[in-house]
Amino acid sequence: MDFKRVDEKGTLEAVCLIKSVEKRISSKGAPYLDIVIADKDEEMSAKLWDYREGLHDNFAPGDIVKIRGGKNIYNGSEQFKIDRILPVTAADGVRMEDYVPSAPYSGEAMLAEVEAAAASLADGELKALAFEMLGAWREKLLYWPAAFKLHHAVRGGLLYHTLAVLRLAEAVCAIYPFVDRDLLVAGVILHDILKIGEFEVPNTGLASGYTTAGQLVGHLVSGAAALEKAGEKLGISSETLLLLEHMLISHHGDPDFGAAVRPLTLEAEILSQLDMLDARVYQIAHALEQTEKGAFTQRQWAMEDRKFYQHGRVRAKPEAALIPEK
């Protein structure tokens, strides 16, 4: 936690994220706030003993605040005693990305590249569908995660994953010119878009759980349904819709992993393989980042319960895996 000393008495102040906050009653019968404060790297217990009703009632998880006070040790653990707490303002120039695990690029930069790919589509129907769907969820796309726990479960993770798969797809099309680039690129852009609606996501951009619809229906089926609705609105041909819907409902590859059917077109198979590749690379890199050189990771249940060896030749973070922005 980045605390700064502000006077000779050792008073500290910091900007931090409220991870949790609860009003409690002390042993003396006085109300206080029990808070967990955090930044990207760590969290700490904090107490606001001088609670004032009305003044301190509006703080909630996900708020970024300025605190002042001092550290102490309680039951062997470090704790922060808050003397003053204030919400940040626009003048503070604070970004949520600096306080929660986030994609390495801004949502705006990633969306701009995805939209540029959509604009490059020669097929007018696929282009119209891509922009219709992107426009419908544009605001949430800028910060939505790609998962609750596994791959790209960070602020902006959905666009980050989409952009990685898109760049992989462009490379595949350069190697294999017989692949229908328009169909593959459109499928990549839209394959996970209905993860918006699958998770409960507060303003932190980190999923706190699954929605009821996310558990009962899931993003493959809801994505195909949303695509069908958009296609009817735009007057898209049934053949185009059928090919793209198939890509959405089959991109998990295997029914055991949630696919409604296995991929049955070349572009659907490529999408499924690239989607899995990016997810697995990210998960392995994340596990290796937490592992010392010469050691093995914990077992990764999503990858056949394997352990991966940290050879130490590269220590890049999974959130820095993409090539620099264009």
The yes/no answer on whether domain 4-96 falls in CATH 2.40.50.140 is: yes
Q: For residues 160 and 270, what is the distance between their CA atoms, to the nearest angstrom? A: 19
Listed in sequence order, the residues at least 6 apart from 228 whose beta carbon sits closer than 8 Å to its beta carbon are 241, 245
Look at strands 77-87 and 43-48 and give their pairing: parallel
Q: Tell me the Ramachandran region of residue 125: left when phi exceeds 0, alpha when psi lies from -120 to 50, beta otherwise.
A: alpha
Q: For residues 113 and 105, what is the distance between their CA atoms, to the nearest angstrom? A: 11
| The predicted structure's pLDDT at residue 121 | 98
pTM: 0.86
Q: For residues 39 and 43, what is the distance between their CA atoms, to the nearest angstrom? A: 7
CB-CB contact of 189 with 181 (8 Å): no
Structure tokens at 55: 């003044």
Domain range annotation of the chain: 4-96, 100-320
pLDDT in tens, 202-241: 889 999 899 999 999 999 999 999 999 999 999 999 999 9
Residue with tokens 């060896």: 309
Average model confidence (pLDDT) for the chain? Answer: 91
Q: Of 241, 258, 237, 137, nearest to 183 (Cα)?
A: 241
User: Which of 133-137, 204-208, 282-286 is predicted most confidently?
Assistant: 133-137
Q: Which residue has the higher pLDDT, 173 or 42?
A: 173
User: Mean pLDDT throughout 59-84?
Assistant: 90
| The predicted structure's pLDDT at residue 326 | 45
Q: For residues 103 and 111, what is the distance between their CA atoms, to the nearest angstrom? A: 12
Q: Model confidence at 320, in pLDDT bands (50, 70, 90)?
A: low
User: Mean pLDDT throughout 98-126?
Assistant: 95
| The predicted structure's pLDDT at residue 268 | 98
